[in-house]
Structure 1
Amino acid sequence: MPGPRAVRDAELTEQITAVHEQSRGTYGAPRIHAVLQREGTTCGRRRIAKLMRVAGLTGLHRRRQHRTTTPWLPTQFPPPYGPFSHRLGAEDSGNPRTHSHSNTPPK
Structure 2
Amino acid sequence: MVKTSLLFIATALAEIIGCFLPYLWLRKGGSILLLIPAAASLALFVWLLTLHPTASGRVYAAYGGVYVATALVWLRYVDGIKLSVYDWAGASVALLGMAIIVMGWRGE
TM over 0.5: no
Question: Which structure has greater helix proportion?
Answer: 2
Larger radius of gyration: 1
Query: Larger relative contact order (C-alpha < 8 A, sep ≥ 6)?
Result: 2
Q: TM-score, normalised by structure 1?
A: 0.29
